[in-house]
Amino acid sequence: MNILLFGKPGAGKGTQAPKLAAALKVPTLATGDVLRGAIRAGTPLGLKAKGYMDRGDLVPDDVILGVIGETLGRPEYANGVILDGVVRTVPQAEGMKRVLSTLKRKLEAVLSFDINNDEIVKRLSGRTVCEACQTPYTGHAAGETCATCGKGKLVRRKDDEPDAIRNRLDVYEKQTAPVLDWYKRDGVNVATIDASGSVDDVSKRALKALGR
């Protein structure tokens, strides 16, 4: 199963991705995590991405398509993947389709997490993430040790500051939201998931939409 998680920043994609991956027994791929890893490692990819990410702008399509092209063919993704925020523009959707088609695969579904902006600002203002494994937390202070991997320290993301959150929401409306119509026109099953309520409730809705 190749499933794309879609939605505004803070909608809960990164929280749901590992839960759905465990239920469906496939790995996850999150371009945000790949890019933050590249920034920490100081690679050319990270140097290219950093300014865009700190401001809350999208990293250019050619960079993202490079990541998609390099990763999706790896053996660990051969049986399917949960794609967390990997497609955010129409050219990326077209590029992803080409890559999957070369691998004789296709997207089975897009899960679009739906949430209002007030809840997003609340969630992102209180979020810390593990600098090592990227697990997001609410109600845990920066500096604590990650309870998931037991290694990394929790940090605040630069793009979770108010100006960057506003910009990310604006970028979502202008550049990312139109991708949903592209998928519908392309015949992909697009399911809207109510992303409010508890994490477990959202997981149940997502799995139900996938017929699980």
What region does 172 belong to: left with phi over 0, alpha with psi -120 to 50, or beta? Answer: alpha
Burial 35-54 (b: 16+ CB within 10 A, else e): bbbbbeeeeebbebbbebbe
**11 touches ligand AP5 by CB under 6 A:** yes
Asked if 35 is part of the footprint of ligand AP5 (rule: CB under 6 A), the reply reads yes
Q: Of these, 112, 159, 183, 206, which contacts ligand AP5 (CB under 6 A)?
A: 159
Burial-class residue 62 by CB neighbours within 10 Å (0-12, 13-18, 19+).
exposed
Closest distance to ligand AP5 from the beta carbon of 189 (Å): 20
Q: How far apart are CA 34 and CA 171, in angstroms?
A: 20
Give catalytic status of residue 157 as yes or no.
Answer: yes
The size of the interface with ligand AP5 (CB under 6 A), counted in residues, is 34
The verdict on whether 174 is a catalytic residue reads: no
Measured from each CB, the residue nearest to ligand AP5 is: 32
> Which residues inside 81-140 make contact with ligand AP5, applying CB under 6 A?
85-88, 92, 123, 127, 136-138
Helices (H), 79-177: 90-102, 117-125, 162-171
What is the spatial distance between Cα 23 and Cα 124, in angstroms, rounded to a whole number? 26
In the complex, what is the shortest distance from the CB of residue 1 to ligand AP5, in angstroms, rounded to a whole number? 20
Catalytic status, residue 88: yes
Given candidates 2, 202, 205, 206, which one binds ligand AP5 under the rule CB under 6 A? 202
Chain residues that interact with ligand AP5, rule: CB under 6 A: 7, 9-15, 30-32, 35, 52-53, 56-59, 64, 85-88, 92, 123, 127, 136-138, 159, 168, 198-199, 202
